[in-house]
């Protein structure tokens, strides 16, 4: 390192130190002061408090599998677990679903809120980093050609100033080395928020809400795409988006989200698997 370069490095270090003293950085989630080693705008403690769903999980949808009553069965083709009820809500074209954290425990829900409702767009990088670490089946990794963010209605995106799914897709894209195709899926109408709707109401609410841009039909035909959203609850929104892409010839889809809401009958986060 030359003397000039070393001097510049020292000045940069000094400037960062002064900035931390005069303008201390606060965590976007807990508002506590960020440590000098924290990257981004979420503290290490908040990231460490994120909770994943317990294992064992379904190889297709990633949701926890429930043990059958009684002793485990040790016969070929049986593993002592009930068939996955969560997979039943997915259309056949969906190959795999993965989510980084559960929303009913830990800090996952607060992190989503910081991005989606408090406008801390810088949180998306750390969320995308954790999404990119998720393990998909080998055929998905081999076949996936692009990430497709779930679009917001134009009025809602103007109000918010960004589409959180787009930001997450871009963050994952940098780590996976895949392009983001934001122009192949469009929102055809604005829908009511899904937050307080029942599962059947969610499905009706988003039915026909999406369409595939016909100008991109040739590009997506026969491909395996990964749909990206911030959270998944009943899969109604992602399934509606998948239906629009299926109509334009997509061969296979996988879903990727940061958070996942628990399902009725899921084990609480503090309950471990039986021996």
User: Are 173 and 39 part of one and the same domain?
Assistant: no
Q: How many structural domains is the chain composed of? A: 2
User: Are 15 and 65 part of one and the same domain?
Assistant: no
What confidence score (pLDDT) does residue 74 get? 43
User: Are 159 and 194 part of one and the same domain?
Assistant: yes
Look at residue 58 and tell me if it is in a domain. yes
Which of 151, 168, 259 minimizes the C-alpha distance to 209?
151
User: Are 126 and 226 part of one and the same domain?
Assistant: yes
User: Are 85 and 123 part of one and the same domain?
Assistant: yes
Give the pairing type, strands 252-260 and 94-102.
parallel
What confidence score (pLDDT) does residue 6 get? 62
Look at residue 270 and tell me if it is in a domain. no
CA separation for the pair 33, 26 (Å, rounded): 4
- Beta carbons within 8 Å of 212's beta carbon, 6+ residues apart: 184, 185, 186, 220, 244, 245, 247, 248
Look at residue 271 and tell me if it is in a domain. no
Look at residue 176 and tell me if it is in a domain. yes
Look at residue 66 and tell me if it is in a domain. yes
Q: Which two tokens stand for residue 161?
A: 């100033």
Look at residue 269 and tell me if it is in a domain. no
Q: What is the CATH number of the domain that holds 99?
A: 3.40.50
User: Are 166 and 234 part of one and the same domain?
Assistant: yes
User: Are 119 and 251 part of one and the same domain?
Assistant: yes
User: Are 80 and 10 part of one and the same domain?
Assistant: no
User: Are 138 and 238 part of one and the same domain?
Assistant: yes
What confidence score (pLDDT) does residue 36 get? 78
User: Are 71 and 16 part of one and the same domain?
Assistant: no
User: Are 129 and 18 part of one and the same domain?
Assistant: no
- Model-level pTM? 0.82
Residue 37's domain comprises 3-44
Q: What is the full per-residue pLDDT of the chain (275 aa) written as tens digits? A: 456 656 665 655 554 444 444 445 899 999 998 887 788 899 999 999 999 988 889 999 999 886 655 544 444 444 445 568 899 999 999 999 999 999 999 999 999 999 999 999 999 999 999 999 999 999 999 999 999 999 998 888 888 999 999 999 999 999 999 999 999 998 876 655 555 555 555 555 565 678 888 888 889 999 999 999 999 999 999 999 999 999 899 999 999 999 999 887 666 665 433 33
CA separation for the pair 16, 154 (Å, rounded): 39
CA separation for the pair 187, 256 (Å, rounded): 19
User: Are 165 and 124 part of one and the same domain?
Assistant: yes
Three-class SS state of 109: helix
Look at residue 265 and tell me if it is in a domain. no
Q: Do residues 235 and 253 make contact, with C-beta atoms less than 8 angstroms apart?
A: no
The three-point CA angle 206-61-239 to 5° equals 15
Look at residue 165 and tell me if it is in a domain. yes
């Amino acid at each position: 390192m030359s003397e000039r370069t070393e001097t510049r490095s020292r000045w940069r270090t000094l400037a960062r130190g002064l900035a931390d003293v005069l303008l201390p950085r606060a965590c976007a989630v807990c508002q506590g002061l960020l440590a000098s080693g924290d990257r981004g705008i979420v503290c290490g403690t908040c990231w460490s408090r994120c909770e994943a769903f317990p294992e064992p999980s379904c190889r297709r949808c990633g949701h926890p599998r429930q043990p059958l009553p009684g002793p485990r069965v040790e016969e070929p083709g049986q593993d002592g677990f009930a068939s996955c009820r969560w997979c039943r809500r997915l259309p056949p074209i969906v190959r795999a679903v993965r989510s980084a954290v559960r929303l009913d425990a830990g800090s996952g829900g607060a992190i989503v809120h910081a991005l989606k409702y408090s406008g801390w767009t810088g949180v998306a990088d750390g969320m995308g980093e954790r999404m990119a670490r998720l393990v998909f089946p080998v055929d998905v990794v081999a076949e996936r050609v692009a990430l497709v963010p779930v679009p917001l209605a134009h009025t809602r995106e103007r109000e918010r100033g960004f589409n959180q799914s787009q930001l997450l897709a871009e963050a994952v894209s940098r780590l996976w080395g895949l392009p983001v195709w934001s122009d192949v899926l469009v929102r055809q109408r604005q829908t009511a928020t899904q937050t307080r709707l029942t599962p059947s109401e969610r499905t009706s609410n988003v039915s026909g809400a999406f369409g595939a841009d016909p100008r991109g039909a040739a590009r997506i035909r026969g491909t395996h795409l990964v749909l990206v959203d911030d959270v998944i609850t009943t899969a109604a929104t992602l399934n509606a988006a998948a239906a629009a892409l299926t109509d334009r010839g997509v061969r296979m889809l996988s879903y990727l989200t940061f958070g996942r809401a628990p399902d009725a009958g899921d084990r609480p986060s503090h309950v471990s698997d039986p021996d």
